[in-house]
């Protein structure tokens, strides 16, 4: 998933592509069918989700022509929901743990900067009640979800609207997008999660082929223990964010050290600025090349500025060596271009 881009104070665009380019059911290429977007208000602010939707074109595939939407969409909000799952979790927690009245619920959301009507608060409360009453024992429902699937890909999210309060655990099937189980728990310890995973695994009529999560330690340990054979993938956004931290630090350090070695461009430029011969012109060009290299930047971690600086300095060094071998004439300089 893409880096969130803040376009103005109130709305952040997040682009969500499906995690795979292949159909999750048959494995053939699922081509991009269309792009769409939806707005979601969470406790973190207003977001516009830019979604890429793929479709499988294999006629023999059980999911032929059915939309393959981004796996991560379901961790933001319920289908067609305008408010995030975290807002629903908060409403449920305030109502059932802290016994807020409707007016108090409304006020609590307004206090958090969410402009919402009382009637919508009531709808969110109804959504919460529906969520937690989803029953794994409802075999008819499970059968209708999995009649066209040979396996499930389990996504697990823990929504904690307030520090120190209960967590609403939501387990869904990423292929169909259906929620399988939602349960508020006061803890997020490994044993509780193992119990949830085992419960879902036992109820499903199809095997679990993979697990997707944000990679919290308790989830990782619980998945390894309850589903030891099942691959566990971090959601791309969280994976990149975690991977970016050490990469960013190492790259920043490398860039600082490299810059130390190419100080003193200005004195060289000064020393040759009154000369008009070829050698002076070439030196000025190299100084310019070093300057432009130092001001170039990138966006870590995917385009690391330190690595980019290193690559460009190496090209300058290689070009200098070629010129040194051939002699400093304008003709040779032209033949030894840097990049
Ligand atoms: Zn397919």
Q: DSSP assignment of 106-134, as one string?
A: HHHHHHTT----HHHHHHHHHHHHHHHT-
* Mean pLDDT, residues 156-177 taken together: 87
Ligand 1 midpoint to CA 11 (Å): 35
pTM of the model: 0.68
Q: Cα separation of 20 and 32, whole Å?
A: 11
* Mean pLDDT, residues 268-280 taken together: 86
Ligand 1 midpoint to CA 70 (Å): 15
Q: By three-state DSSP, how is residue 66 classified?
A: coil
Cβ-in-10-Å burial (0-12, 13-18, 19+) of 55 comes to middle
Ligand 1 midpoint to CA 212 (Å): 20
Among 146-160, 205-219, 298-312, name the one with the lowest average pLDDT.
Answer: 298-312
Tokens representing residue 211 in the block: 């697990």
Tokens representing residue 252 in the block: 């920043």
10 φψ region: left (φ > 0), alpha (ψ -120 to 50), beta (else): alpha
Q: What is the largest CA-CA distance in the chain?
A: 88
Ligand 1 midpoint to CA 52 (Å): 17
pLDDT at 1 over 50: no
| Closest C-alpha to 227, from 185, 196, 258 | 196
**Ligand 1 ion: residues within 5 Å (CB):** 23, 25-26, 56, 58, 61
Model pLDDT, residue 238: 66
Domain parsing of the chain, residue ranges: 1-70, 250-335
pLDDT at 159 over 70: yes
Torsion angle of the four alpha carbons 92, 94, 97, 101, in this order, in degrees rounded to the nearest 10: -100
47-63 per-position pLDDT tens digit: 999 999 999 999 998 88
pLDDT at 8 over 50: no
User: What letter does residue 336 receive in the DSSP assignment?
Assistant: T
Model pLDDT, residue 152: 92
Ligand 1 midpoint to CA 66 (Å): 9
Ligand 1 midpoint to CA 148 (Å): 11
Model pLDDT, residue 7: 45
Tokens representing residue 19 in the block: 């995690």
Looking at per-residue confidence, does 331 or 95 come out higher? 95
Ligand 1 midpoint to CA 170 (Å): 26
Checking 299-305 for CB contacts under 8 A at 24+ apart, the result is 299/3, 300/244, 300/247, 300/248, 300/251, 300/252, 301/240, 301/243, 301/244, 301/247, 301/248, 301/251, 304/247, 304/251, 305/251, 305/255
* Mean pLDDT, residues 216-244 taken together: 82
| Closest C-alpha to 171, from 220, 133, 206, 213 | 213
Model pLDDT, residue 172: 94
Q: By three-state DSSP, how is residue 177 classified?
A: coil
The DSSP code sequence of 202-220 is HH-SS-EEEEEE---HHHH
């Amino acid at each position: 998933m893409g880096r969130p881009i803040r376009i103005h104070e109130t709305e952040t665009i997040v682009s969500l592509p499906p995690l795979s380019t292949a159909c999750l059911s048959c494995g053939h290429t699922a081509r991009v069918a269309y792009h769409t977007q939806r707005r979601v208000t969470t406790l973190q602010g207003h977001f516009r989700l830019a979604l890429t939707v793929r479709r499988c074109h294999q006629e023999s595939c059980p999911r032929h022509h059915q939309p393959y939407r981004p796996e991560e969409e379901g961790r933001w909000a319920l289908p067609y929901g305008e408010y995030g799952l975290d807002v629903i979790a908060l409403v449920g927690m305030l109502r059932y743990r802290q016994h807020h009245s409707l007016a108090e619920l409304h006020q609590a959301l307004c206090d958090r900067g969410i402009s919402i009507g009382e009637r919508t608060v009531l709808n969110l409360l109804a959504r919460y009640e529906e969520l937690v009453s989803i029953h794994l024992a409802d075999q008819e429902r499970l059968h209708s979800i999995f009649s066209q699937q040979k396996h499930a890909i389990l996504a697990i999210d823990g929504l904690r609207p307030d520090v120190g309060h209960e967590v609403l655990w939501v387990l869904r099937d990423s292929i169909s997008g259906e929620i399988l189980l939602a349960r508020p728990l006061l803890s997020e310890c490994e044993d509780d999660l193992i119990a949830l995973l085992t419960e879902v695994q036992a109820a499903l009529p199809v095997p679990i082929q993979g697990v997707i999560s944000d990679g919290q330690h308790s989830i990782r340990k619980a998945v390894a223990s309850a589903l030891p054979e099942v691959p566990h993938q971090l959601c791309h956004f969280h994976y990149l964010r975690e991977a970016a931290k050490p990469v960013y630090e190492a790259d920043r350090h490398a860039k600082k050290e490299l810059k130390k070695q190419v100080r003193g461009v200005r004195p060289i430029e000064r020393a040759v600025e009154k000369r008009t011969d070829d050698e002076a012109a070439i030196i000025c060009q190299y100084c310019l090349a070093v300057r432009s290299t130092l001001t170039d930047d990138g966006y870590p971690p995917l385009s690391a500025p330190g690595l980019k600086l290193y690559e460009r300095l190496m090209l300058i060094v290689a070009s200098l060596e070629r010129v040194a071998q051939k002699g400093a004439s304008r003709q040779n300089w032209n033949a030894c271009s840097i990049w």
